Amino acid sequence: MGYARVRAVGLVGLEGHAVTVEAHVAAGLPALVLSGLPDTSLNEARDRVRAAIVNAGEKWPQRRITINLLPAELPKRGSGFDLALAVVILAGTGMLNLGGLGGAALIGELGLDGQVRPVRGVLPMVLAAAQSGVRRIIVPAENAAEASLVPGVQVRAAATLRQVIEFVRASVPLPDPPTVSDIEDAAGPDLSDVLGQERGRFALELAAAGQHHLALFGPPGAGKTMLAQRLPSILPPLDDAAALEVTAVHSIAGALPPVPQLIRRPPFQAPHHTASGPALVGGGTGLARPGSLSLAHLGVLFLDEAPHFGVSVLNALRQPLEDGWVTVARSQGCTRFPARIQLVLAANPCACGTGNDVSCTCSSVARRTYLNRLSGPLMDRIDLQVTLKPVGAAALLGQPDSQESSAQVLQRVIAARQAAAERWAGQEYSVNARATGAVLRCPPFRLPRVATAELAKRLDRGTLSARGYDRVLRVAWTIVDLDGRITPDKDDVSEALDLRMGEAA
Protein backbone atom coordinates (compact mmCIF):
# COMPACT_ATOMS: atom_id res chain seq x y z
CA MET A 1 0.00 0.00 0.00
CA GLY A 2 1.33 3.41 -0.79
CA TYR A 3 0.77 6.72 -2.39
CA ALA A 4 3.14 9.32 -3.84
CA ARG A 5 3.02 12.32 -6.09
CA VAL A 6 5.58 14.35 -8.04
CA ARG A 7 5.47 17.39 -10.24
CA ALA A 8 5.98 17.25 -14.00
CA VAL A 9 5.22 19.55 -16.92
CA GLY A 10 3.14 19.02 -20.07
CA LEU A 11 3.07 21.02 -23.28
CA VAL A 12 0.12 22.04 -25.41
CA GLY A 13 1.32 24.01 -28.41
CA LEU A 14 3.69 26.58 -26.98
CA GLU A 15 2.09 26.50 -23.56
CA GLY A 16 3.50 24.52 -20.70
CA HIS A 17 1.19 23.26 -17.95
CA ALA A 18 2.01 22.00 -14.49
CA VAL A 19 1.12 18.32 -14.23
CA THR A 20 0.88 16.20 -11.09
CA VAL A 21 1.82 12.56 -11.44
CA GLU A 22 0.43 10.41 -8.66
CA ALA A 23 0.91 6.74 -7.95
CA HIS A 24 -1.30 4.47 -5.90
CA VAL A 25 0.16 1.09 -5.05
CA ALA A 26 -2.00 -1.78 -3.88
CA ALA A 27 -1.69 -5.50 -3.32
CA GLY A 28 -3.03 -7.61 -6.13
CA LEU A 29 -1.90 -8.98 -9.44
CA PRO A 30 1.18 -7.07 -10.64
CA ALA A 31 0.11 -4.43 -13.16
CA LEU A 32 0.83 -0.87 -14.23
CA VAL A 33 -2.31 1.09 -15.07
CA LEU A 34 -2.01 4.60 -16.50
CA SER A 35 -4.97 6.95 -16.41
CA GLY A 36 -5.58 10.64 -16.89
CA LEU A 37 -6.11 10.59 -20.67
CA PRO A 38 -2.60 9.64 -21.63
CA ASP A 39 -2.12 9.17 -25.36
CA THR A 40 -0.37 6.27 -27.04
CA SER A 41 3.06 7.66 -26.27
CA LEU A 42 2.29 7.31 -22.58
CA ASN A 43 1.59 3.63 -23.10
CA GLU A 44 5.00 3.33 -24.70
CA ALA A 45 6.31 5.10 -21.63
CA ARG A 46 5.18 2.12 -19.56
CA ASP A 47 7.71 -0.16 -21.27
CA ARG A 48 10.53 2.38 -21.13
CA VAL A 49 9.98 3.13 -17.47
CA ARG A 50 9.90 -0.53 -16.49
CA ALA A 51 13.14 -1.31 -18.35
CA ALA A 52 14.85 1.85 -17.08
CA ILE A 53 14.01 1.07 -13.44
CA VAL A 54 15.39 -2.45 -13.75
CA ASN A 55 18.50 -1.30 -15.61
CA ALA A 56 19.07 1.41 -13.01
CA GLY A 57 19.58 -1.46 -10.56
CA GLU A 58 16.22 -1.32 -8.78
CA LYS A 59 13.67 -4.09 -8.41
CA TRP A 60 10.44 -3.80 -10.38
CA PRO A 61 7.71 -3.81 -7.71
CA GLN A 62 5.38 -6.82 -7.98
CA ARG A 63 2.30 -4.81 -7.08
CA ARG A 64 -0.73 -3.29 -8.68
CA ILE A 65 0.33 0.27 -9.51
CA THR A 66 -2.15 2.87 -10.69
CA ILE A 67 -0.71 6.06 -12.13
CA ASN A 68 -2.78 9.14 -12.66
CA LEU A 69 -1.78 12.33 -14.44
CA LEU A 70 -3.58 15.50 -13.43
CA PRO A 71 -5.30 17.59 -14.64
CA ALA A 72 -7.12 14.81 -16.46
CA GLU A 73 -8.50 17.00 -19.26
CA LEU A 74 -5.07 18.22 -20.36
CA PRO A 75 -3.80 16.34 -23.42
CA LYS A 76 -0.45 14.80 -22.51
CA ARG A 77 1.92 14.19 -25.35
CA GLY A 78 5.52 13.28 -25.75
CA SER A 79 7.99 11.36 -23.67
CA GLY A 80 8.89 14.01 -21.09
CA PHE A 81 6.91 12.32 -18.28
CA ASP A 82 9.11 9.20 -18.09
CA LEU A 83 11.38 10.44 -15.34
CA ALA A 84 8.46 11.56 -13.16
CA LEU A 85 6.75 8.19 -13.72
CA ALA A 86 9.83 6.23 -12.66
CA VAL A 87 10.37 8.31 -9.54
CA VAL A 88 6.74 8.24 -8.47
CA ILE A 89 6.56 4.45 -8.92
CA LEU A 90 9.64 3.95 -6.73
CA ALA A 91 8.23 6.35 -4.15
CA GLY A 92 4.76 4.82 -4.16
CA THR A 93 6.21 1.38 -3.39
CA GLY A 94 8.31 2.78 -0.57
CA MET A 95 11.62 2.35 -2.37
CA LEU A 96 12.28 6.10 -2.36
CA ASN A 97 11.46 8.83 0.12
CA LEU A 98 10.48 11.93 -1.80
CA GLY A 99 11.60 14.26 0.96
CA GLY A 100 14.99 14.26 -0.74
CA LEU A 101 13.49 15.67 -3.90
CA GLY A 102 12.86 19.03 -2.27
CA GLY A 103 9.75 19.70 -4.32
CA ALA A 104 11.64 19.55 -7.60
CA ALA A 105 9.67 18.99 -10.77
CA LEU A 106 10.92 16.29 -13.14
CA ILE A 107 11.30 16.36 -16.91
CA GLY A 108 12.91 13.71 -19.05
CA GLU A 109 12.55 10.74 -21.34
CA LEU A 110 14.10 7.46 -20.25
CA GLY A 111 16.07 5.08 -22.42
CA LEU A 112 15.62 1.36 -21.81
CA ASP A 113 19.14 1.39 -20.36
CA GLY A 114 18.21 3.98 -17.73
CA GLN A 115 19.74 6.98 -19.45
CA VAL A 116 17.82 10.26 -19.19
CA ARG A 117 17.30 11.45 -22.73
CA PRO A 118 16.66 14.99 -23.96
CA VAL A 119 13.19 16.16 -24.94
CA ARG A 120 11.92 19.00 -27.09
CA GLY A 121 10.31 22.04 -25.52
CA VAL A 122 12.23 22.19 -22.25
CA LEU A 123 12.34 25.99 -22.26
CA PRO A 124 8.55 26.52 -22.36
CA MET A 125 8.13 23.66 -19.87
CA VAL A 126 10.49 25.24 -17.35
CA LEU A 127 8.86 28.63 -17.93
CA ALA A 128 5.47 27.14 -17.08
CA ALA A 129 6.87 25.33 -14.06
CA ALA A 130 8.36 28.58 -12.78
CA GLN A 131 5.06 30.37 -13.30
CA SER A 132 3.24 27.69 -11.32
CA GLY A 133 5.58 28.17 -8.37
CA VAL A 134 8.18 25.45 -8.97
CA ARG A 135 11.60 26.59 -7.69
CA ARG A 136 13.70 23.49 -8.47
CA ILE A 137 13.64 21.31 -11.52
CA ILE A 138 15.52 18.26 -12.74
CA VAL A 139 15.95 18.04 -16.51
CA PRO A 140 17.93 15.88 -18.95
CA ALA A 141 21.60 16.85 -18.88
CA GLU A 142 21.49 17.73 -22.56
CA ASN A 143 18.65 20.19 -21.93
CA ALA A 144 20.10 21.74 -18.80
CA ALA A 145 21.69 24.77 -20.47
CA GLU A 146 18.42 25.54 -22.17
CA ALA A 147 16.45 25.16 -18.94
CA SER A 148 18.80 27.56 -17.18
CA LEU A 149 17.71 30.37 -19.53
CA VAL A 150 14.64 30.71 -17.32
CA PRO A 151 15.32 33.05 -14.41
CA GLY A 152 14.35 32.13 -10.86
CA VAL A 153 14.52 28.33 -11.09
CA GLN A 154 17.29 26.12 -9.78
CA VAL A 155 18.12 23.65 -12.54
CA ARG A 156 19.78 20.28 -11.97
CA ALA A 157 21.08 18.08 -14.78
CA ALA A 158 20.40 14.34 -14.83
CA ALA A 159 22.18 12.00 -17.20
CA THR A 160 20.80 8.74 -15.77
CA LEU A 161 17.88 7.56 -13.66
CA ARG A 162 20.46 6.11 -11.26
CA GLN A 163 21.78 9.65 -10.58
CA VAL A 164 18.28 10.87 -9.77
CA ILE A 165 17.69 7.94 -7.42
CA GLU A 166 20.99 8.60 -5.62
CA PHE A 167 20.08 12.28 -5.37
CA VAL A 168 16.71 11.60 -3.80
CA ARG A 169 17.82 8.69 -1.62
CA ALA A 170 21.24 9.84 -0.48
CA SER A 171 21.51 13.52 -1.42
CA VAL A 172 24.30 12.79 -3.92
CA PRO A 173 24.34 16.14 -5.72
CA LEU A 174 23.24 16.39 -9.32
CA PRO A 175 25.45 18.52 -11.58
CA ASP A 176 24.74 22.20 -12.18
CA PRO A 177 23.81 23.13 -15.73
CA PRO A 178 26.68 24.35 -17.90
CA THR A 179 27.03 28.12 -17.78
CA VAL A 180 25.30 29.80 -20.65
CA SER A 181 27.43 32.40 -22.35
CA ASP A 182 25.75 35.65 -23.20
CA ILE A 183 27.64 36.15 -26.43
CA GLU A 184 25.98 38.07 -29.24
CA ASP A 185 24.21 36.16 -31.98
CA ALA A 186 26.51 35.76 -34.94
CA ALA A 187 25.96 38.76 -37.16
CA GLY A 188 24.09 37.86 -40.34
CA PRO A 189 24.88 39.30 -43.75
CA ASP A 190 25.21 43.09 -43.80
CA LEU A 191 23.57 45.72 -45.98
CA SER A 192 26.97 47.18 -46.82
CA ASP A 193 27.35 44.27 -49.28
CA VAL A 194 24.50 45.57 -51.42
CA LEU A 195 25.75 47.97 -54.07
CA GLY A 196 23.48 50.52 -55.69
CA GLN A 197 19.85 49.42 -55.62
CA GLU A 198 18.73 52.56 -53.73
CA ARG A 199 15.09 51.76 -54.37
CA GLY A 200 15.38 48.27 -52.97
CA ARG A 201 17.34 49.44 -49.95
CA PHE A 202 14.75 52.11 -49.25
CA ALA A 203 11.89 49.63 -49.53
CA LEU A 204 13.71 47.32 -47.13
CA GLU A 205 14.27 50.13 -44.64
CA LEU A 206 10.58 51.07 -44.83
CA ALA A 207 9.61 47.45 -44.31
CA ALA A 208 11.82 47.30 -41.21
CA ALA A 209 10.58 50.60 -39.80
CA GLY A 210 6.85 50.02 -40.33
CA GLN A 211 6.95 46.21 -40.12
CA HIS A 212 5.29 46.13 -43.51
CA HIS A 213 5.12 42.96 -45.53
CA LEU A 214 7.26 43.34 -48.63
CA ALA A 215 7.18 41.94 -52.13
CA LEU A 216 10.26 42.28 -54.33
CA PHE A 217 9.85 41.78 -58.05
CA GLY A 218 12.55 41.96 -60.67
CA PRO A 219 14.80 39.99 -62.96
CA PRO A 220 17.15 37.29 -61.68
CA GLY A 221 20.36 38.74 -60.31
CA ALA A 222 18.77 42.05 -59.32
CA GLY A 223 19.56 41.35 -55.69
CA LYS A 224 16.12 40.37 -54.39
CA THR A 225 17.39 37.44 -52.34
CA MET A 226 20.35 39.44 -51.14
CA LEU A 227 18.15 42.25 -49.85
CA ALA A 228 15.61 39.97 -48.19
CA GLN A 229 18.32 38.11 -46.29
CA ARG A 230 19.48 41.42 -44.81
CA LEU A 231 16.12 42.45 -43.34
CA PRO A 232 16.84 40.89 -39.90
CA SER A 233 20.05 42.94 -39.69
CA ILE A 234 18.02 46.17 -39.62
CA LEU A 235 15.24 44.99 -37.31
CA PRO A 236 15.31 46.03 -33.63
CA PRO A 237 16.50 43.19 -31.36
CA LEU A 238 13.83 41.25 -29.47
CA ASP A 239 13.08 42.35 -25.91
CA ASP A 240 13.20 39.83 -23.04
CA ALA A 241 9.64 38.59 -23.35
CA ALA A 242 9.84 38.26 -27.13
CA ALA A 243 13.24 36.55 -26.95
CA LEU A 244 11.90 33.94 -24.51
CA GLU A 245 8.86 33.34 -26.71
CA VAL A 246 10.91 32.91 -29.88
CA THR A 247 13.45 30.69 -28.16
CA ALA A 248 10.61 28.59 -26.74
CA VAL A 249 9.21 27.96 -30.23
CA HIS A 250 12.65 26.90 -31.45
CA SER A 251 12.97 24.68 -28.38
CA ILE A 252 9.78 22.79 -29.26
CA ALA A 253 11.03 22.38 -32.81
CA GLY A 254 14.28 20.93 -31.47
CA ALA A 255 16.06 23.67 -33.39
CA LEU A 256 18.28 25.11 -30.64
CA PRO A 257 22.05 24.66 -30.65
CA PRO A 258 23.59 22.39 -27.93
CA VAL A 259 24.48 25.37 -25.74
CA PRO A 260 21.61 27.67 -26.49
CA GLN A 261 21.16 31.29 -25.65
CA LEU A 262 18.09 33.47 -25.88
CA ILE A 263 17.38 34.35 -29.50
CA ARG A 264 17.68 38.13 -29.63
CA ARG A 265 17.83 38.63 -33.36
CA PRO A 266 14.46 38.39 -35.10
CA PRO A 267 14.47 34.99 -36.79
CA PHE A 268 14.68 34.58 -40.55
CA GLN A 269 13.12 31.54 -42.19
CA ALA A 270 13.42 30.89 -45.88
CA PRO A 271 11.67 27.59 -46.63
CA HIS A 272 12.13 26.13 -50.10
CA HIS A 273 9.08 25.95 -52.31
CA THR A 274 9.32 22.15 -52.31
CA ALA A 275 9.02 22.00 -48.50
CA SER A 276 6.15 19.84 -47.23
CA GLY A 277 3.01 21.20 -45.58
CA PRO A 278 4.02 20.01 -42.07
CA ALA A 279 7.50 21.51 -42.52
CA LEU A 280 5.91 24.87 -43.19
CA VAL A 281 2.84 24.83 -41.00
CA GLY A 282 3.88 22.34 -38.33
CA GLY A 283 2.69 18.87 -37.39
CA GLY A 284 4.02 15.39 -36.77
CA THR A 285 3.01 12.71 -34.32
CA GLY A 286 3.40 12.91 -30.55
CA LEU A 287 4.39 16.37 -29.44
CA ALA A 288 3.56 18.60 -32.42
CA ARG A 289 6.51 20.31 -34.04
CA PRO A 290 6.23 23.92 -35.19
CA GLY A 291 6.99 24.59 -38.86
CA SER A 292 8.76 27.44 -40.66
CA LEU A 293 5.79 29.74 -40.16
CA SER A 294 6.20 29.52 -36.40
CA LEU A 295 9.99 29.41 -36.43
CA ALA A 296 9.67 32.82 -38.11
CA HIS A 297 7.48 34.10 -35.23
CA LEU A 298 8.39 37.73 -34.43
CA GLY A 299 10.78 37.65 -37.36
CA VAL A 300 10.80 37.25 -41.12
CA LEU A 301 9.30 34.57 -43.33
CA PHE A 302 10.92 34.82 -46.75
CA LEU A 303 9.32 33.06 -49.70
CA ASP A 304 11.86 33.23 -52.49
CA GLU A 305 10.49 32.55 -55.98
CA ALA A 306 7.10 32.91 -54.31
CA PRO A 307 4.89 31.94 -57.29
CA HIS A 308 6.48 28.47 -57.19
CA PHE A 309 4.91 27.79 -53.80
CA GLY A 310 1.74 25.74 -53.93
CA VAL A 311 -1.63 27.42 -53.59
CA SER A 312 -2.23 25.54 -50.35
CA VAL A 313 0.95 26.99 -48.84
CA LEU A 314 0.09 30.51 -49.93
CA ASN A 315 -3.40 30.06 -48.51
CA ALA A 316 -1.98 28.74 -45.24
CA LEU A 317 -0.36 32.15 -44.77
CA ARG A 318 -3.67 33.91 -44.52
CA GLN A 319 -4.57 33.00 -40.96
CA PRO A 320 -1.15 33.88 -39.49
CA LEU A 321 -1.18 37.17 -41.37
CA GLU A 322 -4.65 37.80 -39.96
CA ASP A 323 -4.22 36.87 -36.31
CA GLY A 324 -0.62 35.78 -35.72
CA TRP A 325 -1.40 32.11 -35.09
CA VAL A 326 -1.13 28.96 -37.12
CA THR A 327 -3.38 26.00 -36.41
CA VAL A 328 -1.92 22.55 -36.82
CA ALA A 329 -4.65 19.98 -37.43
CA ARG A 330 -3.70 16.41 -36.60
CA SER A 331 -5.44 13.15 -35.94
CA GLN A 332 -5.13 13.76 -32.18
CA GLY A 333 -6.72 17.21 -32.43
CA CYS A 334 -5.61 20.74 -33.17
CA THR A 335 -2.63 22.56 -31.77
CA ARG A 336 -1.93 26.25 -32.12
CA PHE A 337 1.50 27.80 -32.49
CA PRO A 338 2.26 31.52 -32.60
CA ALA A 339 3.22 32.86 -36.04
CA ARG A 340 3.30 36.64 -36.03
CA ILE A 341 5.46 37.00 -39.09
CA GLN A 342 6.74 39.69 -41.36
CA LEU A 343 6.36 38.30 -44.85
CA VAL A 344 8.84 38.98 -47.65
CA LEU A 345 8.13 37.61 -51.11
CA ALA A 346 10.44 37.62 -54.08
CA ALA A 347 9.44 36.82 -57.64
CA ASN A 348 10.90 36.92 -61.11
CA PRO A 349 8.63 38.52 -63.68
CA CYS A 350 8.22 35.19 -65.47
CA ALA A 351 8.38 31.46 -64.76
CA CYS A 352 11.09 30.99 -67.39
CA GLY A 353 13.49 32.84 -65.12
CA THR A 354 15.15 34.92 -67.81
CA GLY A 355 13.42 37.94 -66.47
CA ASN A 356 14.11 40.64 -69.01
CA ASP A 357 11.90 41.59 -71.89
CA VAL A 358 14.51 40.71 -74.45
CA SER A 359 15.26 37.09 -73.66
CA CYS A 360 11.85 36.07 -72.35
CA THR A 361 9.82 34.73 -75.25
CA CYS A 362 6.87 33.60 -73.16
CA SER A 363 3.43 34.91 -74.00
CA SER A 364 2.07 37.84 -72.06
CA VAL A 365 -0.71 35.55 -70.85
CA ALA A 366 1.86 33.09 -69.48
CA ARG A 367 3.68 35.88 -67.72
CA ARG A 368 0.52 37.23 -66.18
CA THR A 369 -0.62 33.76 -65.11
CA TYR A 370 2.67 33.29 -63.31
CA LEU A 371 2.44 36.42 -61.19
CA ASN A 372 -1.31 35.98 -60.75
CA ARG A 373 -0.62 32.99 -58.53
CA LEU A 374 0.20 35.62 -55.94
CA SER A 375 -2.83 37.75 -56.48
CA GLY A 376 -5.85 38.28 -54.32
CA PRO A 377 -6.12 38.21 -50.56
CA LEU A 378 -2.43 37.56 -50.01
CA MET A 379 -1.16 40.54 -51.99
CA ASP A 380 -3.83 42.64 -50.35
CA ARG A 381 -1.85 42.43 -47.13
CA ILE A 382 1.47 43.43 -48.63
CA ASP A 383 1.95 47.15 -48.15
CA LEU A 384 5.19 47.42 -50.09
CA GLN A 385 5.42 45.98 -53.58
CA VAL A 386 8.43 47.14 -55.52
CA THR A 387 10.05 46.19 -58.78
CA LEU A 388 13.84 46.23 -58.85
CA LYS A 389 15.88 46.96 -61.92
CA PRO A 390 19.09 45.03 -62.52
CA VAL A 391 21.94 46.71 -60.73
CA GLY A 392 23.90 48.86 -63.14
CA ALA A 393 27.57 48.48 -63.96
CA ALA A 394 28.32 51.86 -62.43
CA ALA A 395 27.02 50.70 -59.06
CA LEU A 396 28.76 47.33 -59.21
CA LEU A 397 32.09 48.89 -60.11
CA GLY A 398 31.67 51.79 -57.71
CA GLN A 399 33.28 52.31 -54.33
CA PRO A 400 32.74 49.08 -52.40
CA ASP A 401 32.79 50.85 -49.04
CA SER A 402 30.39 53.62 -49.98
CA GLN A 403 27.27 51.76 -48.88
CA GLU A 404 25.64 52.30 -45.53
CA SER A 405 25.99 49.44 -43.08
CA SER A 406 23.10 47.66 -41.38
CA ALA A 407 24.04 49.27 -38.06
CA GLN A 408 23.60 52.75 -39.54
CA VAL A 409 20.22 51.91 -41.04
CA LEU A 410 19.11 50.19 -37.84
CA GLN A 411 19.51 53.45 -35.91
CA ARG A 412 17.00 55.17 -38.19
CA VAL A 413 14.67 52.18 -37.99
CA ILE A 414 14.70 52.25 -34.19
CA ALA A 415 13.98 55.99 -34.15
CA ALA A 416 11.12 55.51 -36.61
CA ARG A 417 9.63 52.67 -34.56
CA GLN A 418 9.78 54.92 -31.52
CA ALA A 419 7.94 57.72 -33.31
CA ALA A 420 5.25 55.32 -34.50
CA ALA A 421 4.88 53.74 -31.06
CA GLU A 422 4.31 57.19 -29.53
CA ARG A 423 1.72 58.07 -32.15
CA TRP A 424 -0.20 54.80 -31.74
CA ALA A 425 0.11 54.83 -27.95
CA GLY A 426 -3.67 54.57 -27.53
CA GLN A 427 -3.99 51.65 -29.95
CA GLU A 428 -3.35 47.97 -29.45
CA TYR A 429 -0.46 48.04 -31.93
CA SER A 430 2.71 50.06 -32.18
CA VAL A 431 3.78 49.67 -35.81
CA ASN A 432 2.34 51.30 -38.93
CA ALA A 433 1.73 48.01 -40.74
CA ARG A 434 -0.98 47.20 -38.20
CA ALA A 435 -2.69 50.59 -38.24
CA THR A 436 -6.30 50.09 -39.29
CA GLY A 437 -7.97 51.92 -42.14
CA ALA A 438 -10.49 53.42 -39.76
CA VAL A 439 -7.75 55.04 -37.69
CA LEU A 440 -5.83 56.20 -40.76
CA ARG A 441 -8.86 57.79 -42.41
CA CYS A 442 -10.37 59.54 -39.38
CA PRO A 443 -9.24 62.48 -37.27
CA PRO A 444 -6.80 63.04 -35.71
CA PHE A 445 -4.76 61.04 -38.24
CA ARG A 446 -6.73 61.87 -41.38
CA LEU A 447 -4.42 63.61 -43.83
CA PRO A 448 -5.32 67.00 -45.33
CA ARG A 449 -7.21 66.83 -48.61
CA VAL A 450 -4.32 68.17 -50.68
CA ALA A 451 -2.19 65.25 -49.54
CA THR A 452 -4.71 62.62 -50.53
CA ALA A 453 -6.21 64.25 -53.65
CA GLU A 454 -4.36 61.93 -56.00
CA LEU A 455 -5.48 58.86 -54.04
CA ALA A 456 -9.09 60.05 -54.06
CA LYS A 457 -8.94 60.52 -57.81
CA ARG A 458 -7.67 56.97 -58.32
CA LEU A 459 -10.25 55.60 -55.95
CA ASP A 460 -13.01 57.31 -57.99
CA ARG A 461 -11.55 56.04 -61.25
CA GLY A 462 -11.40 52.54 -59.82
CA THR A 463 -7.64 52.20 -60.30
CA LEU A 464 -7.07 52.00 -56.55
CA SER A 465 -8.99 49.76 -54.15
CA ALA A 466 -10.07 50.86 -50.71
CA ARG A 467 -7.53 48.46 -49.24
CA GLY A 468 -4.88 49.84 -51.56
CA TYR A 469 -5.74 53.33 -50.32
CA ASP A 470 -5.06 52.31 -46.72
CA ARG A 471 -1.82 50.58 -47.66
CA VAL A 472 -0.52 53.74 -49.28
CA LEU A 473 -1.38 55.72 -46.15
CA ARG A 474 0.43 53.26 -43.89
CA VAL A 475 3.58 53.50 -45.97
CA ALA A 476 3.34 57.30 -46.12
CA TRP A 477 3.43 57.38 -42.32
CA THR A 478 6.52 55.18 -42.29
CA ILE A 479 8.22 57.52 -44.76
CA VAL A 480 7.77 60.49 -42.41
CA ASP A 481 8.73 58.44 -39.35
CA LEU A 482 12.03 57.55 -40.98
CA ASP A 483 12.52 61.13 -42.05
CA GLY A 484 11.79 62.48 -38.56
CA ARG A 485 8.79 64.54 -39.69
CA ILE A 486 5.33 64.78 -38.18
CA THR A 487 2.71 64.31 -40.90
CA PRO A 488 2.80 62.96 -44.46
CA ASP A 489 2.31 65.53 -47.21
CA LYS A 490 1.41 65.20 -50.88
CA ASP A 491 4.94 64.13 -51.84
CA ASP A 492 5.08 61.41 -49.19
CA VAL A 493 1.77 60.03 -50.39
CA SER A 494 2.91 59.98 -53.98
CA GLU A 495 6.17 58.34 -52.95
CA ALA A 496 4.20 55.69 -51.08
CA LEU A 497 2.09 55.21 -54.18
CA ASP A 498 5.26 54.70 -56.21
CA LEU A 499 6.30 51.95 -53.84
CA ARG A 500 3.35 49.93 -55.03
CA MET A 501 3.67 47.83 -58.13
CA GLY A 502 0.86 48.44 -60.57
CA GLU A 503 -0.15 51.70 -58.96
CA ALA A 504 3.08 53.33 -60.04
CA ALA A 505 2.19 53.33 -63.72
Residues that bind ligand ADP (CB under 6 A): 194-197, 218, 220-226, 346, 391
Nearest approach in angstroms of CB 83 to Mg ion is: 47
What is the maximum alpha-carbon separation in the chain? 88
> Is the Cβ–Cβ distance between 282 and 337 less than 8 Å?
yes
The option from Mg ion, Zn ion, ligand ADP, none interacting with 221 (CB < 5 to 8 A, set by class) reads ligand ADP
Partner in contact with 223, chosen from Mg ion, ligand ADP, Zn ion, none, beta carbon below 5 to 8 Å by kind = ligand ADP
First to last CA, the chain: 83
Would you count residue 371 as binding Zn ion (CB under 5 A)? no
Q: Helix (H, G, I), strand (E, B), or coil: what is residue 290? A: strand
- Using CB under 5 A, which of 107, 126, 360, 472 touches Zn ion? 360
Site residues for Zn ion, 171-210, by CB under 5 A, read none
246 binds, among Zn ion, ligand ADP, Mg ion, none (CB under 5 to 8 A by kind): none
Q: Is 362 in the site for Zn ion (CB under 5 A)?
A: yes
Which of the choices Mg ion, Zn ion, ligand ADP, none does residue 194 contact, using the CB cut-off of 5 to 8 A by kind?
A: ligand ADP
Is 391 or 496 the residue whose CB approaches ligand ADP more closely?
Answer: 391
Q: Does residue 352 interact with Zn ion by CB under 5 A?
A: yes
C-beta closer to ligand ADP: residue 34 or 195:
195
- 298 interacts with Zn ion by CB under 5 A: no
Task: List contacts with Mg ion (CB under 5 A).
Answer: 225
Nearest residue to 141 via CA among 114, 175, 173? 175
Q: Is residue 271 within 8 Å of 338, Cβ to Cβ?
A: no
- The letter for the amino acid at 78 is G
Residue 392 or 484: the one with the smaller Cβ distance to ligand ADP is 392
C-beta closer to ligand ADP: residue 191 or 242: 191
- Asked if the bond preceding 30 is cis, omega within 30° of 0, the reply is no
Residue among 320 and 355 whose Cβ is closer to Zn ion: 355
70 touches Zn ion (CB under 5 A):
no
Which residues in 363-378 are b (16+ Cβ under 10 Å) and which e?
Answer: eeeebeebbebbeeeb
- To 10 degrees, the CA torsion angle through 333, 338, 343, 346? -50
Query: How near is the Cβ of 351 to Mg ion at its closest, in Å?
Result: 14
Among ligand ADP, Mg ion, Zn ion, none, partner that 195 touches (CB below 5 to 8 angstroms by kind): ligand ADP
Compute the chain's Rg from CA coordinates: 28
CA distance 18 to 84: 12
Cβ proximity to Mg ion, 262 vs 352, nearer residue: 352
DSSP-assigned beta bridge partners for residue 16: 11
Cα 422 to Cα 425: distance, rounded to the nearest angstrom? 5
Nearer to Zn ion, 360 or 493 (CB): 360
**Sign of dihedral through CA atoms 47, 49, 55, 58?**
negative
Beta-strand runs (E) in 174-317: 214-217, 268-269, 282-283, 289-290, 300-303
Residues of this chain that bind Zn ion (CB under 5 A): 350, 352, 360, 362
